[in-house]
Amino acid sequence: PRSFMCRYAGLFRIEAPGFQSRYFVVMRSVFDPRMKEGLEVFDLKGTLVNRKKSEGQSCGKDQDWVDQHCVIKVHTSVRSEVCAVHARDVAFLLRFDVMDYSMLVGRTTYCGDATCSSGWRQGGGLVNMEDKNIYFMGLIDHLVEYDMLRDLQNLLEGDEAEIVPPDRYAARQIKWFREYAVQKLDPEDDWGTFGRLRVQNIQGFNIKGYQDPSSNLPAGVAAKTTAKLSSLLHRGITTDVYVIVTVGLRSARTEVKVQDKNPVFPDTLYIPVDATRENEMVLVEVWQEVTAMLLGDRLVGKLLVPLQELLDAPGEPNLVQKERLRETAARGHISLELVFESGEQGAAAAAAAAAAAAAA
């Protein structure tokens, strides 16, 4: 199968009299050595925070990629394959709890046969659809473990910075790749190689999130002082809620419903689905929005739905009706409708849309 993982050829050591031993790694090049002329290189991690090259640096970063309006444009079916290959590689790296890896992208102008079609290029790379650019891609620097020092760095810099836990790093890079590296599609037009999950008619019932603990304190001076401190700390906690639905490392979220314990979400969520793992679950989470400094949004409760139940009946709605949310202190129920739509259904819908557009 295709993969963007950079291949290691070996670890070697050089020894010479009077010199300290040196180790070096030999890797397979991401680029085609015959196409070095005019090659632009970008190191993409999936965040724009502090990701712009400094003066004198030759390798661009995420912000440079966006500023130059770089986009890999290929046919939608090829785009689905490219995104699936990248997601599979990233999921593999997550199994080893590594992070801080990059998608190294090289862009050069193709000077060969002008009739070369867009998509996968024999010999490596992707041929762009709108010009003669060829893009070479490879995942590099994938041996960095997330340790206590990086956990502290994440605490100081926040979740938008470069260093985040491996699961968030993987999900963030997959999302960024679909939105910035390749052409971005509207959610309803974005399909995986296997199909997509559609989630709609989401409604909560008697959703009760985190409450200010000071409300249960007894009377007294000490209690009043504690209540004031608690009130200051938790002032940014709202009763506003939203829903996130996740399959593997891909997710979609609803809008925020303000001060509503029985929220009705008008959103229809779409999640691309590629090859699935055995016993994979659809994770539905209800979150409470928090605006207080140093406090993140709070999980109210969650629900798990076996993905296989949806795969066994493509196109058929799976109704979840007033299911109780699961979490230590969760209170409330949720209803929603989940439908798995196969790739064949997506191709038929695209063909029908194209025919209608041509007729118009």
DSSP assignment of 171-195 equals: HHHHHHIIIIIBPP--GGG---SSE
Give me the DSSP letters along 129-153.
SSSSEEEEEEEE----B--HHHHHH
| C-beta of residue 241 within 8 angstroms of C-beta of residue 284 | no
Distance CA 144, CA 71 (A): 28
What is the pLDDT, as a whole number, of residue 212? 45
pTM: 0.83
What's phi and psi for 224, nearest 5 deg? Answer: -65, -40
Tell me: the pLDDT tens digits for 151-204? Answer: 777 777 777 778 888 999 999 999 999 999 999 999 999 999 999 999 999 999
pLDDT at 223 (0 to 100): 55
Tell me the C-alpha distance between 253 and 93, whole Å.
25
> Given this model, what pLDDT does residue 354 score?
64
Spans in the chain with pLDDT lower than 70: 111-116, 209-238, 292-295, 328-330, 350, 353-354, 357, 360
